[in-house]
Amino acid sequence: MVIKNINLETVCGITSTLPDNALPEIAFAGKSNVGKSSLINALMNRKAYARISATPGKTQTINFYNINEQLYLVDLPGYGYAKVSEKEKKEWGALIERYLHGSGQLKAVFLLIDIRHDPSANDRMMYEWIVSQGYKPIIIATKLDKIKRSQKEKQLKAVKQGLGLAPGTIVIPFSSVTKQGRDEIWELVETEYLEGEKAE
């Protein structure tokens, strides 16, 4: 994907009306601090278009990035940050649920998991919940540059087992530092979720 133009077109908070977009949407979910903004910046070929915060739990909105007038990358609020109040957690959960139920253009959900750690209870819950909504999540194992190459297969196995992945689930190791995995993600998006759009 050659990135020609990007526009942060819509920012939806808890009380916002979700946009009725005509272009395909690709959503990214993951717990706070998993590297979601870094991944989205890498996909957009920008250093800091998606805001990266030193404080986990800062993304409290759903952000729609229009890419080349071809598709939207959709950044969902991070989950599982302990210092956020229960009320806020529930509101974010309701916002994400409303989006997954309400979007007519959502083609795929990517779930980000930190490759260094076994998936948390929140990660497992999110994976099972995305599946229950009728989607087959694609797993992105982030922070690949933080482990030794010799640990990669062992950690990927831990991610697959920890989430209880359905057979055939795609898992893409990714590093925002080296950009490893970026091309695979775009290739998947273009072949699986944009081919039909071009033909129409």
pLDDT digits (tens, 9 = 90+) for 136-153: 999 999 999 999 999 999
What mean pLDDT comes out for the span 89-118? 92
Percentage with pLDDT > 70 across the chain: 90
Q: Identify whether the C-beta of residue 61 lies closer than 8 Å to the C-beta of residue 11.
A: yes
3-class SS string, 66-86? EECCCEEEEECCCECCCCCCH
- Residue 196's pLDDT band (boundaries 50, 70, 90)? low
- Cβ-based neighbours of 54, under 8 Å, separated by 6 or more: none
Residue-level pLDDT at 68: 96
- Residue 92's pLDDT band (boundaries 50, 70, 90)? confident
Phi, psi of 99 (to 5 degrees): -70, -50
Other CB atoms within a 10 A radius of the CB of residue 37 amount to 21
- What average pLDDT does the structure give for the chain? 89
- Distance between CA atoms of 110 and 132, rounded to whole angstroms? 15
Best CA proximity match to 156, nearest among 169, 174, 179, 173: 173
pTM, two decimals, is 0.91
Dig out the tokens for 95 from the structure: 């916002």
- Highest mean pLDDT among 35-39, 76-80, 142-146 belongs to 142-146
- Distance between CA atoms of 197 and 199, rounded to whole angstroms? 5
